[in-house]
Amino acid sequence: MPVHRTATARAAALLAAPLAAALLAGCGGHESAPAALVAPVACADLASRTVPASAIGLPTGGASVTSAAVVMAATGNYCQVLGKIAGATNAPNSGASATPDIRFQLNLPVGWNGKAVQMGGAGYNGVVVDATAPVPFAPASVPLAQGYATFGSDSGHTGSGASAEFALDEAAIANFGHEHLKKTRDVAVALIRLHYQRLPTRLYFAGASTGGREGMTAIERYPADYDGVVASAPALNFTGVRLHGVKIGQAAYGTPGGHVSRAKQVLIRDTVLAQCDADDGVADRIVANVRTCRAKSAAILAALRCAGGADLGERCLSDAQLATVRAVADDLLLPYRLAHGVERHQGYNILQGADFSGPLGLGGSATLLAPPTFDNGYLFAQGDGYVKYFVAKNAALDTLRFDVNNPGALLPRLVELSATVGATNPDLDAFRARGGKVILMHGLADEVISPNATIAYYQGQVAHYGQDSVDGFMRFYTVPGFGHGTGAFLPSWDALAVLDQWVTAGTAPGALSATDTSPATKGRGRPLCRYPAYPRYLGSGSVDTAASFACVSN
The whole-number pLDDT of residue 161 equals 79
User: Could you tell me if 92 and 149 lie in one domain?
Assistant: yes
User: Could you tell me if 366 and 509 lie in one domain?
Assistant: no
User: Could you tell me if 296 and 182 lie in one domain?
Assistant: no
* Domain-located, residue 429: no
Query: Would you place residue 98 in the very low, low, confident or very high pLDDT band (cuts 50, 70, 90)?
Result: low
Residue 23: which of 58, 69, 56 has the closest Cα? 56
Distance (Å, whole) CA 507 – CA 130: 30
pTM, two decimals, is 0.92
Angle in degrees, CA 311, 267, 283, rounded to 5: 155
Mean pLDDT lowest among 99-103, 189-193, 491-495: 99-103
Return the higher-pLDDT residue of 350 and 12: 350
The whole-number pLDDT of residue 28 equals 30
For residue 202, list its beta bridge partners.
115
Quick check: 248 pLDDT over 90? yes
Question: Residue 245: which residues within 8 A CB-CB, separation 6 or more?
Answer: 377, 378, 379, 380, 381, 382, 383, 384, 386
Q: What's the DSSP call for residue 329?
A: H
Query: Would you place residue 160 in the very low, low, confident or very high pLDDT band (cuts 50, 70, 90)?
Result: confident
Return the higher-pLDDT residue of 26 and 201: 201
Distance (Å, whole) CA 464 – CA 467: 9
The whole-number pLDDT of residue 443 equals 98
Distance (Å, whole) CA 456 – CA 289: 18
User: Could you tell me if 230 and 246 lie in one domain?
Assistant: no
Average pLDDT, the chain: 92
The whole-number pLDDT of residue 90 equals 57
Decide: 345 and 240 in contact? Cβ < 8 Å: yes
Q: What is the dihedral of CA 222, 53, 108, 173, to 10 degrees?
A: -50
User: Could you tell me if 132 and 110 lie in one domain?
Assistant: yes
Mean pLDDT lowest among 29-43, 294-308, 402-416, 531-545: 29-43
Quick check: 23 pLDDT over 60? no
Quick check: 59 pLDDT over 80? yes
Return the higher-pLDDT residue of 98 and 48: 48
The whole-number pLDDT of residue 39 equals 80
Burial readout 69-93 (b: 16 or more C-beta within 10 A, e: otherwise): eeeeeeeeebbbbbbbbbbbeebee
User: Could you tell me if 474 and 401 lie in one domain?
Assistant: no
Distance (Å, whole) CA 415 – CA 333: 15
Active site residues: 209, 446, 484
* Domain-located, residue 426: no
Decide: 67 and 82 in contact? Cβ < 8 Å: yes
The whole-number pLDDT of residue 530 equals 98
* Domain-located, residue 428: no
**DSSP state string for 89-132:** TTSTT-TTSPPPPEEEEEEEETT--SEEEEE---TT--S---S-
Decide: 455 and 531 in contact? Cβ < 8 Å: yes
The whole-number pLDDT of residue 14 equals 33
User: Could you tell me if 461 and 379 lie in one domain?
Assistant: no
Distance (Å, whole) CA 381 – CA 388: 11
* Three-state DSSP state, 62: coil
320-350 pLDDT per residue, tens = 999 999 999 999 999 999 999 999 999 999 9
User: Could you tell me if 452 and 463 lie in one domain?
Assistant: yes
Quick check: 554 pLDDT over 90? no
Burial readout 116-155 (b: 16 or more C-beta within 10 A, e: otherwise): bbbbbbbbbbbbbbbbbebbbbbbbbbbbbbbbbbbbbbb
Angle in degrees, CA 360, 364, 367, rounded to 5: 125
* Three-state DSSP state, 64: strand
Quick check: 156 pLDDT over 70? yes
Quick check: 307 pLDDT over 80? yes
Q: What's the DSSP call for residue 17?
A: H
Query: Would you place residue 147 in the very low, low, confident or very high pLDDT band (cuts 50, 70, 90)?
Result: very high
Decide: 312 and 249 in contact? Cβ < 8 Å: no
User: Could you tell me if 140 and 161 lie in one domain?
Assistant: yes
Distance (Å, whole) CA 237 – CA 459: 15
Decide: 83 and 66 in contact? Cβ < 8 Å: yes
Mean pLDDT lowest among 50-59, 87-96, 354-363, 392-401: 87-96
User: Could you tell me if 412 and 298 lie in one domain?
Assistant: yes
User: Could you tell me if 493 and 377 lie in one domain?
Assistant: no
Distance (Å, whole) CA 509 – CA 260: 42
* Domain-located, residue 19: yes
The stretch 138-153 carries a mean pLDDT of: 97
Question: Residue 107: which residues within 8 A CB-CB, separation 6 or more?
Answer: 71, 78, 79, 80, 81, 130, 131, 132, 144, 149, 150, 151
* Domain-located, residue 427: no
175-196 pLDDT per residue, tens = 999 999 999 999 999 999 999 9
Residue 414: which of 349, 332, 350, 484 has the closest Cα? 332
* Three-state DSSP state, 231: strand
User: Could you tell me if 533 and 459 lie in one domain?
Assistant: yes
Domain count, the chain: 3
The stretch 463-489 carries a mean pLDDT of: 97
Range of the domain at 175: 1-200
Return the higher-pLDDT residue of 23 and 435: 435
In percent, the amount of the chain with pLDDT more than 90 equals: 89
The stretch 449-453 carries a mean pLDDT of: 98
